[in-house]
């Protein structure tokens, strides 16, 4: 162990002095972060040595056992870039990143007290008439906390047997999650303010006048991760998510975010999803298509904001990564000290979806989180894009009543066009693709006719109409393509009864020959005895039978297989580089060869 600690210390000194053998430092992202703090994610099997190495740069301030992640407070004389470079190449370290700051997404206007339009627009009022909850569903508002004494919220709080509110404050590690900002209380009211109590507003989830105490089947859990200014660290947000998942939350509502993604946050979201939670997040208020995190992650429902006329709000993020829209302009809801106010923001849209999810899940508890997500995203109403600003193809504005009916296999006798997809989305000219039409309910007697049009029928064509058979909710059709000299994207439009859905198909020219385009290695520097990953990429899809790429290494310190096969139709394949220990730093050249073309990349092996 003494030898290992000596080597590590020497390596750290090398980083500080800028030895040329070391990899070039990656600059810390120019986003806002906690000064002098890094989050280090470790693999379960090789944590001990890495934790010892932390002593050379600082101390472990806190940890998240669920993610095996540690917040490291750096010593005053240690630069973040140098510590990051030192730590990230240690065996057992999965990632190193700054402790980013996350902010609330609301853009409040002057407080106003107006009529709610959100519950009516998303048809929550219709859902209440048929709602028949079977289990209690918990909604975690991961935010600035909740004013649990507010008369519209106090009876909707999850509580311990002694009456104390069931919540958590990651900022000071207490169970006191009272709101000192107002944002979290506003979101909580949108999701689940008490209904028909003669006070204030009505939340989305939920109520049925014929079922006594039905509202108790949806309860709120305050998880305070943001301070009085509406800001909080990445580590606090991640711990809030994992705490909610570990403490019984079914739906996690995240009206917060940052322009910077992080492995810690991605791991936290995946942790919650894998434990069966549905994670909903505000898409962001930048008015652009740039990703916002955590909304951008695959296991999160990203929510855009619309106004009372169903037009996408000018401030809302947009793009193909945004999954659904909900009311987010002039939304009246609860704020601390028994008051109410109207705010704008995707922060307000997010709890509409979270409340809808809780309402449906309370009635249909056997749904998986993926099934519930599909119900919410596929049973929507049309929205109006803002100019060229639009969300994902076939996405729409939340309709909780449609989703509730669809969950029970219902939907009435008036189906609507709810989905349109093309698979695959990219083909070589001359080949075919398949279009699929989806309805919100089974087709009536005589079937349901959907009109189909192509933006470029000479390149890709389809039948002018498709009929969904009586009693069915889907129908498929064939899309034929012609040979092209350049890549061409064709937009298909499906329309019926005033509702239109679009999907794109990319038609590619035939590949005359495929060559080896590149070889990359990640990471570019490793400790001896550990592994790196090499990836070969072709200029086009591999031919039938696959493409066999020959591999060789310039040194026995880094061993590679003699060849790697890129499967037919794929463009890339990866292989493992196994290294050995030594008492020197060695730069090894790995070379890949295919069809007479060679590409090389270098790997630095430390000690």
CB 96 within 8 A of CB 338: no
Helix/strand/coil percent split, the chain, to 5: 20, 35, 45
Is position 143 annotated as part of the catalytic site?
Answer: yes
CB 552 within 8 A of CB 569: no
Closest CA to 108 of 309, 330, 360: 330
Q: Determine the Cα–Cα distance for residues 147 and 222; give it in Å rounded to an integer.
A: 9
Q: 32 is written with which tokens?
A: 């806002």
Alpha carbons within 13 A on the beta-carbon side of 291: 11
CB 479 within 8 A of CB 505: yes
Q: Determine the Cα–Cα distance for residues 206 and 219; give it in Å rounded to an integer.
A: 10
Q: Determine the Cα–Cα distance for residues 297 and 257; give it in Å rounded to an integer.
A: 12
**Residue 145 backbone dihedrals phi, psi, to 5 degrees:** 100, -175
The continuous run of DSSP H or E covering 376 comes out as helix 369-378
**Residue 491 backbone dihedrals phi, psi, to 5 degrees:** -100, 125
Q: How far apart are the first and last CA of the chain?
A: 15
Is position 246 annotated as part of the catalytic site?
Answer: no
Is position 347 annotated as part of the catalytic site?
Answer: yes
Q: 202 is written with which tokens?
A: 């009505």
The residue from 183, 186, 250, 352 that is catalytic is 183
Whole-angstrom Cα Rg for the chain: 27
The residue from 143, 147, 152, 307 that is catalytic is 143
The residue from 316, 347, 440, 530 that is catalytic is 347
CB 252 within 8 A of CB 265: no
Annotated catalytic residues are 143, 183, 347
């Amino acid at each position: 162990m003494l030898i290992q600690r000596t080597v590590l210390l020497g390596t750290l000194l090398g980083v500080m002095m800028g030895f040329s053998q070391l990899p070039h430092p990656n600059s810390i992202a120019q986003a806002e972060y906690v000064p002098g703090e890094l989050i280090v994610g470790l693999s379960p099997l090789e944590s001990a040595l890495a934790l010892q190495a932390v002593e050379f740069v600082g101390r472990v301030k806190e940890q998240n056992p669920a993610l095996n992640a540690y917040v490291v407070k750096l010593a005053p004389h240690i630069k973040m870039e140098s510590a990051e470079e030192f730590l990230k190449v240690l065996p057992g370290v999965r990632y190193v990143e700054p402790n980013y700051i996350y902010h609330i997404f609301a853009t409040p206007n002057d407080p106003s007290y107006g009529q709610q339009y959100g519950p009516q627009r998303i048809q929550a009022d219709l859902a209440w008439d048929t709602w028949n909850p079977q289990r209690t569903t918990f909604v975690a508002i991961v935010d600035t906390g909740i004013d649990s004494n507010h008369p519209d919220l106090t009876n909707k709080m999850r509580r311990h047997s002694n009456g104390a509110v069931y919540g958590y404050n990651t900022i000071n590690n207490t169970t006191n999650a009272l709101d000192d900002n107002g944002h979290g209380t506003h979101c909580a009211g949108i999701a689940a303010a008490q209904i028909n109590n003669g006070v204030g507003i009505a939340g989305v989830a939920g109520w049925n006048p014929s079922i006594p105490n039905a509202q108790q089947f949806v309860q709120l859990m305050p998880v305070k991760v943001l301070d009085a200014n509406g800001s909080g660290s990445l580590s606090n947000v991640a711990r809030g998510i994992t705490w909610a998942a570990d403490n019984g939350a079914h739906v996690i509502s995240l009206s917060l975010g940052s322009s910077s993604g992080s492995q810690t946050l991605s791991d936290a979201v995946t942790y919650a999803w894998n434990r069966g939670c549905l994670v909903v997040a505000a898409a962001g208020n930048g008015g652009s298509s740039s990703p916002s995190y955590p909304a951008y992650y695959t296991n999160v429902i990203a929510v855009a904001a619309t106004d009372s006329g169903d037009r996408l709000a000018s401030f809302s993020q947009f793009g193909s990564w945004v999954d659904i829209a909900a009311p987010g302009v002039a939304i009246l809801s609860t704020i601390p000290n028994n008051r109410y106010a109207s705010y704008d923001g995707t922060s307000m849209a997010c709890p509409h979806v979270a409340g809808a999810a809780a309402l449906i899940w309370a009635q249909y508890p056997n749904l998986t989180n993926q099934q519930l997500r599909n119900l919410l995203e596929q049973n929507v109403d049309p929205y109006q894009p803002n100019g060229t600003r639009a969300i994902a193809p076939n996405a729409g504005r939340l309709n909780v009543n449609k989703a509730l009916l669809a969950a029970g296999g219902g939907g009435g006798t008036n189906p609507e066009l709810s989905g349109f997809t093309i698979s695959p989305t990219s083909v070589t000219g001359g080949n075919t693709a398949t279009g699929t039409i989806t309805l919100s309910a089974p087709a009536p007697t005589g079937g349901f006719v959907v009109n189909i049009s192509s933006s470029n029928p000479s390149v890709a064509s389809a039948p002018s109409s498709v009929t969904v058979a009586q009693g069915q909710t889907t129908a498929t059709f064939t899309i034929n393509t012609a040979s092209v000299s350049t890549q061409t994207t064709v937009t298909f439009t499906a329309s019926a009864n005033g509702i239109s859905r679009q999907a794109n198909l990319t038609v590619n020219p035939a590949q005359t020959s495929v060559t080896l385009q590149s070889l990359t290695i990640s990471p570019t520097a490793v400790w001896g005895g550990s592994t790196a990953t090499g990836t070969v990429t072709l200029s086009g899809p591999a031919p039938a039978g696959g493409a066999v790429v020959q591999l060789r290494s310039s040194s026995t310190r880094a061993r590679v297989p003699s060849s790697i096969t890129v499967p037919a139709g794929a463009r890339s394949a990866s292989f493992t580089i196994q290294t050995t220990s030594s008492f020197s730093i060695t730069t090894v050249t790995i070379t890949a060869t295919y069809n007479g073309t060679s590409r090389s990349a270098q790997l630095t092996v430390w000690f």
